[in-house]
Structure 1
Amino acid sequence: MSVKHEASGRRFVETQFEVPGTPEEVWEAIATGPGISAWFVPARFEERDGKPVGVTYEFGPGSEIRGIVTAWDPPRTYAARQEEGWGGAPPIATEWNVEARSGGTCVIRIVHSLFASTDEWDDQLEGAESGWSGFLAILRVYVAHFRGRRSALTQLRSPAEGTDAQIWEALTTALGLQGASVGQRFAAPAGVPPFGGIVEYVTENPYDALLRIDRPAPGIVALGVAGMPGGPSMVGVNLYLYGDEAAATLDREKPVWEAWLQERFPMPADSSDGE
């Protein structure tokens, strides 16, 4: 992954991938609040005179990112500009393009760009590109198996001690997934929140796994471990459930996962707490 430069000062990264579905079906998944919320994070569009003017993504309590919609051409293209860049970075723009291909599939191209006179923010752009890998895997599974269905999502996070590799090994071992390969069927062992299904995606760069489940409800479990700047590594579990009973099932399953994470990955001791 590399940042491309233009004489105008524009610097950008792009990625593209193929998903099943018509342009209209893919557009519904990437350019509506319910669609985005079904595979990414809770999202909502703001409209004025029947046209989207802003989009907000909720990454957790008190952590929202808002973009101003700058282009809107369904079902082909839309773009949004984030005015407040990360860590003082210049405003960053994101453009989504959908192109139909033969065989009932579409190619989605995502372009992140900003204007800068130095390479000071190139790492931010590369991070934006690499950060999409796990979510795009979720999008593929959602569009292929669950598109258009009602959805419910919860995002669980727990700090953990050790290196990312050590934490990932502990997480996958506890869930019975150590050494799992794509296409493998699995069932959670005793002492773990009950779930089972098929492994859809596994990578250790970064540490991510994606599981398409059929119990306790149709859905997706996304697992990950990532180091946090200036803090401990975090174990992440995103639960995406689908169908008319998704919300009720999630209400029941969320506290089970929360309790398991707290027990398996207790809060690291704060060595500065001497009071």
Structure 2
Amino acid sequence: MAKEFEIVRAFEVDASPEQVWEAITTGTGGWLWPMEYEPREGGAAPFGGTVTRWEPGHRLTSRVENPEGVGGQTLNELDNTIEARDDGRRAWVRYVHSGIFTDDWDNQYDGANQHTDFYLHTLRQYLAHFSGRPVAFATVQGPGASAAPDAFTAVGRALGLAEDAGEGTEVRARGPEPLDAVVDYRTPHFIGLRTGTALYRFFGRNRWGAPVGVSVHDFAPGADGERNGAAWEEWLARAFA
């Protein structure tokens, strides 16, 4: 049964409104997957959408209409409002994700709600540590076995993370190569690791019936996104062999 949803978050960041606007609109892959917007109302937006509001430095709204309900949605809208704080040295951000889910509403809403917190946390990490730096982005998903109900625990084990390694813990994680990192996010379904040159995001999408995933935002000079993706895909295959 089709039903509307709305997910709202608001927060302040130690970044200017211009930096936040650039992070959201330039599509580099610095904190989310690369998404580009045609800079005008009525312009093209990601996933076949349309820009319905374009106020540089202040407001961006995009809308995707999908009457056939492919992917379990007939409507998806993202709205970002940015306001200056402390004479423009900081910014206040309000993020609203709304639309209509058509299949398994509770599961879809729970997944979108929990992913929102992780994505916006990653935005804040990007703004605090890597804002404006060139990035090589990669995202991969695990094999079918990683969709099992308890699969995400294997990710933590493969990384060599202690169960009590919470946010702020310094670790030497076992990736394709050893990673001297800080755990910047950890819940039963998500892990975030930050090094001096990269953000590593681990998604326990098995919670919602999909394979686990890994995204890498690599800011090191000469970073190769394709090579990173291949290395982490192989790592996931070994973790679930």
- TM-score bin (small chain): 0.7 to 0.9
RMSD, aligned α-carbons: 3.0
The residue type paired with residue 212 of structure 2 is V
How many residues are treated as equivalent by the alignment? 233
Superposed CA deviations along residues 67-92 of structure 1, whole A, max 9, x for unmatched, are: 20000111010101111155464423
Q: Matched residues in 2 for 1:236 and 1:115: separation? A: 25
Superposed CA deviations along residues 94-124 of structure 1, whole A, max 9, x for unmatched, are: 21101222383222111233479x9x96875
1:138 CA drift (Å): 1.1
The residue type paired with residue 108 of structure 1 is V
Q: Matched residues in 1 for 2:52 and 2:159: separation? A: 43
Mapping 1:34-183, distance limit 5 Å: 34=28, 37-46=29-38, 53-56=43-46, 65-84=47-66, 87=71, 89-102=73-86, 104-114=89-99, 124=108, 127-159=111-143, 160=145, 163-164=148-149, 166-179=150-163, 180-183=165-168
- Long gaps (5+) in structure 1: 1-8, 57-64, 267-275
- Long gaps (5+) in structure 2: none
Superposed CA deviations along residues 196-215 of structure 1, whole A, max 9, x for unmatched, are: 211111111xx10111013x
Name which of 252, 262, 265 aligns with 2:237: 262
Q: Matched residues in 2 for 1:122 and 1:81: separation? A: 22
Greater helix share, structure number: 2
Q: Matched residues in 2 for 1:144 and 1:181: separation? A: 20
1:5 matched residue in structure 2: none
Please identify, of 151-160 and 252-261, the stretch whose mean Cα deviation from structure 2 is larger: 252-261
- Asked which structure has the greater RCO (Cα within 8 Å, sep 6+), the reply is 2
Name which of 9, 12, 15 aligns with 2:6: 12
Q: Matched residues in 2 for 1:259 and 1:10: separation? A: 39
Q: Matched residues in 1 for 2:116 and 2:30: separation? A: 15
The residue type paired with residue 37 of structure 2 is F
Q: Matched residues in 1 for 2:200 and 2:96: separation? A: 27
Greater strand share, structure number: 1
Distance of aligned partners of 1:181 and 1:87 in 2 relative to their CA distance in 1, 3 Å threshold: closer
